[in-house]
Each structure stands twice: as C-alpha cells, then as structure tokens.
Structure 1
Amino acid sequence: MDVETAGFTAFDGERCVAQGAKRDVALKLKRDGRTENVLIFDDATGRQVDFDLTGSEAEMLARLDLPEAAPPARMASPVRGPGRPKLGVVAREVTLLPRHWDWLAGQPGGASAALRRLVDAARAANGDRDRARKAAAAADRFMLAMLGDKPGYEEAARALYAGDGAAFGKRIAEWPGDLRAYVQRLAEPAFAR
C-alpha cells in the first residue's frame, strides 16, 4: 500500500489492526470495539494522532470531518496589509542584507517575483532530497514511538539517515512483522536518493 495515499495506520500492540483514510480507520476501530489502547499514526509524518472514538458512529464521524485547526498566525495583525488574500498570498517579513535587496530590486518583476522564482527553482532541484528527508523523519518518529526499546534501533536510525537501505533492512529484520513492514513502507522513499 502506498503510504502517501493510505492516510492513517492503527496498531494494537505489535499488530496492525486498521489502515486507510481517517474515516475508514475510525469506523473499523469503532466496529471492532477497539476504542482504547490503540495507537494511530499519520502515514505522512509518522506522528501519533488521537481520534475521538466516543459516542455513536454518526457523532464520531461528525467530529472527524471537522477541518483541522489552523496553525496560529505568527504575527496577528488586525489591519489587512499588502498582498492578495483571495489568492492565498500572505505578506511575511524577510530579513536580507542590503546587497541582497539591491540585487532583488534589479530583477524582472521586482523582489517578490524574484523570490518566488528562486523558491520554485529550489523546490524543483531539491524535491527528491526533501522527500527522502521527510520519509526518514517519519520513519524515525514511528520507530522511536513503537520500536525505540528494540535491539538494533539506534543502528537502524543511523542507517536510515545515512540512506543505507541494506544496513537498515538488516537491523530491523528481527522486529515484529507488522511494525517492521510499516516502518519499511515509511522509510522506502528515504532510500530512493
């Protein structure tokens, strides 16, 4: 199963008991009576998440369908400043040296357009490396939460961040099957450098 599209994975001890979209995982856990002592992980980040599985299925699903809370603004400003809010443009502060501002001012389209082009170019050039870094971080978060006390954890983490898939596979070979399979799926993009 492709981790990027799976969504969430739930474990009861060392056994994977549900995997899929948020609603599907929650319904499976609720219908199986697994509302306690189950750990649920976000497949994209490897972070443990909590689902409120109390109440009826309809109540539970209504809570799950609520949009995620927006992150707090870095600088709350009651007055709308420059930018194009309808297009999702948000003004932020950037600190540069005078020589940087001089160079940006001479670019076609001005400083903002030049910065957007630079960011887009960097994202395109580093996309594979960024995906590998995110996959390693997600796998390590999961490993620390579920396998941090298992033999070979530290060596596996070192191999993961070094991008050494063979050493990683060797270090996790003795880990419980479902946990090992999940961490391998999370880590797979980390080795595609």
Structure 2
Amino acid sequence: MPEYIAIERQQLIARGTLESIVRQIKSRETPLEPMVFSTDNCQRIEIDWQGDIETVLTRLKPSTTPTSAKRGRPKLGVISKEVTLLPRHWEWLRQQPGGASVTLRKLVEQAQKDISLEERITTSQHQLDRFMLQVVGDAPGFEDASRSLYRNSKVSFEKAIRAWPEEIKHFVLAKFNDIAEIHSGNK
C-alpha cells in the first residue's frame, strides 16, 4: 500500500496512507494545510483541505459516477491529451497496425521496461532534489546537499543536511541511500 508523508514548516507531522494523513491533520485543533508527498517517488500530492474529514476524503477518491460512454472507447481510464509530432511521425504512425494510439502505448510501455541504470539514477536524483527544494529549499546547506546528491557524495550530503530537522534528514538520507544502491547495482 502506498505511503505518504505530510510536512508543515519543514516538520514531518504525519505518515501513512492518504486517508490516515487526512484524518490525522483534520483532527488537530489547529487547522493546517501541509504539503503531502509520496514516499516512493517524492511526488507532491495536491490536497484541497477545505471542509471536514469526509469532504476532504471524498475529493481524494476518483469519481465513481459513470461518465457518458463514447463509442469505441474502452472504460480503461483512457485520457485524451495532445501529442505534437512532425508530419513524418504522423505518417509512420498511420501505417502501423492498430493506429497511432495503440502504437504510442506500445512504445511507451517498451520505453518504461528498457530504462537504463543511468536513467533510473537520474530520475531518482531529480525526484529527491525536487522534494528537497519544496521542503527545505531555504534551509542552510540546501545547495551543497543538491550538489552532493548529483555527485553521489554521501559524506558531503550528510554534512550539508546536518542542521535539518531530524525526520526530514532521515527521510532524505534514506532516499539518498536508495539512489546509492541503484549506483552499486543492488536495486
């Protein structure tokens, strides 16, 4: 089950599922609107904190009301977005069996499977750096921590984050160690 953390003023104030975080935050006497992040990929989750616990939880859940079905569209969560390609790319896609959508989905699926070690490392570094910028971007040592992250220098990273709040420090160090494991080929 996915885990999340809630952070307010550089302090980790809740950890758990999205539902448990909402319940923890909304049951506090002092109203808060913390930033919430996935612990897996450091992605920020936008939550509208207005209303009571049930109202906030309802907005988190995907809509279960049936949408008007369009002919030929499977109910698989297909989302229509704009794709910009050169004319030669569109011509190639038109010639593929199944058409442009099927071919693009296959290409994306294959690219996700074929991610290189370097791409995994870079993606993880960017995710952690973005998290640090949002949470402790104005804290002493942020710039040094960011540089150390991309150099994979654990000693420099630990030195840079020394003055950060304990729980934030532990979280970013654990993520740094995950990236180091990717570097070493153990993950």
Query: Normalised by the size of structure 1, how large is the TM-score?
Result: 0.64
Which of 22, 26, 32 is equivalent to 1:26?
A: 22
The 5 Å alignment of 1:1-193 reads 5-11=2-8, 13-36=9-32, 39-43=34-38, 44-47=41-44, 49=46, 52=49, 59-67=52-60, 84-126=73-115, 132-160=121-149, 162=150, 164-166=152-154, 167-191=156-180, 192-193=182-183
Shift of 1:21: 1.6
The CA deviation string for residues 86-130 of structure 1, in whole angstroms up to 9 with x for no partner, is: 344455554444443444444444444333322211111127666
| Preserved contact between residue 23 and residue 61 of structure 1 (Cα < 8 Å) | no
Cα distance in structure 2, aligned partners of 1:29 and 1:96: 45
Distance in 1 separating the partners of 2:123 and 2:169: 19
| Aligned counterparts of 2:45 and 2:100: Cα–Cα separation in 1 | 40
* Shift in alpha-carbon separation, 1:133–1:9, aligned structure 2, 3 A: farther
TM-score, normalised via structure 2 length: 0.65
Aligned residues: 173
Which of the pair has the greater relative contact order for Cα pairs under 8 Å at 6+ separation?
1
How far did residue 169 of structure 1 move? 3.0
Q: Which runs of 5+ in 1 are unaligned?
A: 71-79
Paired-residue identity, %: 31
Match of 1:76 in 2: none
In structure 2, distance between residues paired with 1:32 and 1:92:
40
CA deviations on 1:19-78 (whole Å, 9 max, x unpaired) are: 112222233334453424x63322244537555376xxxx323332224689xxxxxxxx
1:102–1:41 CA distance, 2 compared to 1 (3 A) = closer
CA contact (8 A) 2:5 2:21 kept: yes
